[in-house]
Amino acid sequence: MQQRASVIESVADRFTRWCEAVVARLPWGLDSVVAPTLLGFGLINSFTFGVDLLLLTVLHGGLGVPIALSITLAYIVAFGLAFVLNRTFNFHSHAPMGKQAAVYAVVVLVNYLAFILGVGSGLTALGVDYHLARLGAGACEAVYMYSAMRWIVFRRRRSADPVATGQRVG
């Protein structure tokens, strides 16, 4: 089990180093604006969004499952996968998973109600193809989810600065 954990860590570390190297090469000073975790989030969530669309197509287009249920089931699978991949490969979190999963569940519920059902189902009701409606909702959710994951779900606790807390240094 220990060997498996170290293999995952080394793959996660390589993923992070690759994201950092790509961001460092961005032109026009964008490297100072774009965080490597934004690139990592984009890659991971593009993959899980593809999983979401594939499941949506199979459920609704192939099996005839009603659109709201198809969206919901595909969404749950994709966001569970996104949580695990972002926690492991992008944000390298070692915090207790239970608390993070609970916070993530609230973030996802808000996202689901506002963007997935609200925007996605709303656009579909207006006659937009369900794939295009899901893409529109996905653009909205990407901004919200990255922000929530970076600054709420996987936020890093700052260690106490001895100077700021008035403690003696040295």
Return per-residue pLDDT of the chain as tens, 170 residues.
Answer: 566 656 666 888 999 999 999 999 989 988 887 889 999 999 999 999 899 999 999 999 999 999 989 988 998 899 899 999 999 999 988 888 889 999 999 998 998 899 878 998 899 999 999 889 988 888 888 889 999 999 999 987 665 444 444 444 34
Residues listed for the chain: 170
Whole-angstrom CA distances from 88 to 59, 69, 75, 81, 144 are 29, 29, 20, 11, 20
Domain map (residue ranges) of the chain: 1-34, 35-95
In this prediction, residue 127 carries a pLDDT of: 95
Whose CA is closest to 55, among 80, 68, 79, 74? 74
Other CB atoms within a 10 A radius of the CB of residue 34 amount to 16
In this prediction, residue 165 carries a pLDDT of: 41
In this prediction, residue 160 carries a pLDDT of: 47
- 3-class secondary structure, 127: coil
Whole-angstrom CA distances from 2 to 12, 86, 93, 101 are 15, 21, 17, 23
